[in-house]
Amino acid sequence: MKLAVAETGLDMSGMTVLTEAATGAYAVTPVLAAMAGAKRVHAFTRPGRHGTVLDAKRETMELAALLGVADRIEILDSISPEMLHNVDIVTNSGHLRPLTAELIDQLRDDAVIALMFEAWEFRGEDLDIEACARRGIPVVGVNERHPAVDVFSFLGPLAVKQLHDCGLAVLGNKIGLLCDNDFLAPLHTGLTSLGAKVKTFDSVAAVHPDAWDAFVVALQPATTPRVGQAEATHLAACARAGAVVVQFWGDIDRTALARNGFAVWPTSPVKQGHMGILLSDIGPEPIVRLQTGGLRAAEWVRRGGAVTPDGFAQLVPWPAAT
């Protein structure tokens, strides 16, 4: 965490931040803000599948105490309008989502929302982008490929972990990589570097018959599943018995795939629009880098910094006025 703050140059001095208090690797977010000099960090939490309110408070404050910043972090289970009036940066974090028009309307005119991932990955259900446009509040993505953040380099190891967890060696496996977005290069590199025989396709329709061991799905989510009944039937016609469909990103129809004889990994359903594996599943470092980068991008915009292709910050486009 100290290294990430130093490498990104994160400086939140004088700022008030509203973020979440969470468990595991995600406990780092409010602590990073405080480490970077934020004068006050409000960390909202609620019960979830990863822990209770007490769990989140304990893990966050133990980490904060270890780093000597506990006095500037406040754990909350409710958010008042008065607090929102004083916030500089709000993070698009799990416990806070969705960021509603009601919340956004209480923010200061110069407040900034930190998306906490790249702008092109924006999900409309996370926050009310129309309310942000009406208020003139920037929604700031983070350049995950910036050298001081470099989260994209962890995507290959994440896919490898999924394949290992479902019982494939990767080495020598024939893998169809279904990807139509910027995840393609790091996923391809990660799989081929461990000896997989990888063929890439930008759609299910482009897949051809072969002795596939697995299909890794990394297709940008849409309004309907990227692998539905028709796609599952096509894949089944192209693959040998026993092939696995690995959901990295992009919604899939699990029933249709099972009906066509596929095993699906992970075995539990994935929330719509979300990845099938957490960055923290290979350790805390990707999360530390991502959260620090997300805060740095928002801090940069909040201080009036210019958004450039090689910088930390990206902007989510506001919808056109009607």
Same domain, 176 and 209: yes
* Residues in contact with 236: Cβ distance below 8 Å, sequence separation at least 6, in sequence order: 260, 261, 262
150: left (phi over 0), alpha (psi -120 to 50) or beta: left
Same structural domain for residues 51 and 143?
yes
Q: Which residues does 280 contact at the CB level (< 8 Å), separation at least 6? A: 24, 25, 26, 286, 287
Asked, for residue 278, whether it belongs to a domain, the answer is: no
Q: With contact defined as beta carbons under 8 Å apart, do 131 and 106 qualify?
A: no
Whether 145 is in a domain gets the answer yes
In whole angstroms, how large is the CA radius of gyration of the chain? 21
Same domain, residue pair 307 and 218: no
19 and 130 part of one domain: yes
In a domain, 158, yes or no: no
Q: Is there a domain that residue 156 lies in?
A: no
Q: Let me know if residue 254 belongs to a domain.
A: yes
Q: Are strands 263-265 and 40-44 parallel, antiparallel or unpaired?
A: unpaired
Residue 320 included in any domain? no
**Is the domain of 236 the same as that of 293?**
no
Is there a single domain that holds both residue 143 and residue 291? Answer: yes
Q: Are residues 52 and 22 in the same domain?
A: yes
Residue 249 and residue 183 in contact, taking contact as beta carbons nearer than 8 Å: yes
Strands 139-142 and 313-315: antiparallel
- The reply to whether 16 and 103 lie within a common domain is yes
- Count of domains for the chain: 2
- Assess whether 136 and 211 both reside in one domain: no
Domain range enclosing 172 = 167-265
DSSP 3-state of 194: coil
- List, run by run, the mean pLDDT of 10-residue segments along the chain (322 residues): 98 98 96 98 91 94 98 96 97 97 98 97 96 97 98 97 98 98 97 98 97 98 95 97 96 97 96 94 97 98 97 96 63
Residue 277: inside a domain: no
**Beta-carbon count within 10 A of 108 CB:** 14
CA dihedral angle for residue 243, residue 247, residue 251, residue 253, rounded to 10 degrees: 30
The answer to whether residue 37 is domain-embedded is: yes
pLDDT value of residue 322:
55
pLDDT given at position 51: 83
Q: How far are the Cα atoms of 18, 34, 125, 164, 212 from residue 274, in angstroms, in the given order?
A: 23, 28, 12, 20, 25
CATH of the domain at 216: 3.40.50.720
If asked whether residues 261 and 128 sit together in one domain, one would say: no
